[in-house]
Amino acid sequence: MRELTPETITDAVLDQMSTTPDARMREIMAAAVRHLHAFAREVNLTPGEWIKGIEFMTLVGKTCTPARQEFILLSDTLGLSALVNGLHDETALEEGTHTSLLGPFYREASPRLAAGSQIARHVKPGTECVLYGRVTDIHDKPLTDATVSVWQTSADGLYDIQENASAVDYRGVFATDENGLYVLRTVKPRGYSIPMDGPVGAMVKAQARHGMRPAHIHFLVGSPGYRELVTALYLRDDPHLADDVVFGSSDDLAVDIVPADPDCPIPGLPSVRFDLKLSRESEADKTGGRVGSDPSAILKEAKIAAAAPAAS
């Protein structure tokens, strides 16, 4: 038998895994092993340090519930979600509006609202603003009846479900008109901290990072024949625009609140204009294109998996 050393172990593992029948799985696992071994060699990882790493990941798993996905939060704070989404963006047929993270607060069950509706149930004086824009293809052709789903925090920086698990607030689904226009009333969102009470928060604190996301409004935009767009607008004056803890913000998604925009469809209120350009759909879009979670969807999937007979 050949002697295994730190120099030969990587090839031995790759050799044994080379029987994997699924070619893509073989490729992914081989690369993962090569990079993991290289990482351990680079930092001269000690057994005690690796046990700490295993304990950390165990805690990340134990912190996951139907309403909380700590592993996605870990992926977000390591920039891996933004990287994987960015790689997927490069497969688009055309360069539309840049994407941003879906985040954990999206809900499939959002109210469909008429154009111009206010999405907040309670509006504190001085916080109301209009949000509008056009949904087009990359050649500026308006997309009629596109679905524009938005969700955001209150002016206090909390999502509805953080205040009350069954509340539905600060979110809504709108349809574009014949000019591709969507318009709604909302309140100015506020930057907020990601959940810091779990192992990912402990990691972020140990790294002396602030844990903040800049103020933003999420968008999920769909139109038949076009790649679904998951993005967000970011308020340009937020102090954390350039150092978002989950690497979702970028300059091209930054907007200003304009006190009196003559083009705003609802006059008399400050407004934000955010136009959205969709790329045509391609084969790559059929495999699902975003890292994120709707806990209610996870719960649904978990129930389906539990009900299905185990694979042999």
Per CB under 5 A, 214 contacts Fe ion:
no
Among 74, 85, 103, 136, binds ligand BEZ (CB under 6 A): 103
> Which residue in 188, 213, 273, 290 binds ligand BEZ (CB under 6 A)?
213
The verdict on 103 binding Fe ion (CB under 5 A) reads yes
For residue 260, give the nearest of 116, 134, 155, 130 by alpha carbon: 130
| DSSP conformational letter for 68 | B
Rounded to an integer, what distance in angstroms lies between the CA atom of residue 182 and that of residue 107? 20
From the CB of residue 65, how many other CB atoms can be counted at a distance below 10 Å? 11
Residues 71-90, interacting with ligand BEZ (CB under 6 A): 73, 76
Contact 70, 64 (CB under 8 A): yes
> Applying CB under 6 A, does 101 fall inside the site for ligand BEZ?
yes
What does 197-260 look like in DSSP terms, one character per residue?
SSHHHHHHHHTT---EE-SEEEEEEE-TTB--EEEEEEETT-TTTT--TTS---GGGEE--BTT
> CA angle at residue 220 from 141 to 119, to 5 degrees?
105
* CB 155 to ligand BEZ: min, Å: 16
Q: Least distance to ligand BEZ from the beta carbon of 116, Å?
A: 25
How many residues touch ligand BEZ under the rule CB under 6 A: the total is: 9
Find the shortest distance in angstroms from Cβ 132 to ligand BEZ.
21
To 10 degrees, what angle do helices 70-77 and 47-63 make?
120
Under rule CB under 6 A, residue 238 binds ligand BEZ = no
189 binds Fe ion (CB under 5 A): no
Taking CB under 6 A as the binding criterion, the range among 37-45, 84-92, 96-104, 301-309 that sits at the site for ligand BEZ is: 96-104
CB of 153 to ligand BEZ, least distance (A): 8
Q: What minimum distance in Å lies between the beta carbon of 73 and ligand BEZ?
A: 6
Is residue 104 part of the contact set for ligand BEZ (CB under 6 A)?
yes
Q: What single letter denotes the amino acid at residue 17?
A: M
> How many angstroms separate the Cα of 268 from the Cα of each of 80, 188, 264?
42, 15, 9
Which residues are near ligand BEZ by CB under 6 A?
73, 76, 101, 103-105, 194, 213, 246
Which residues are near Fe ion by CB under 5 A?
103
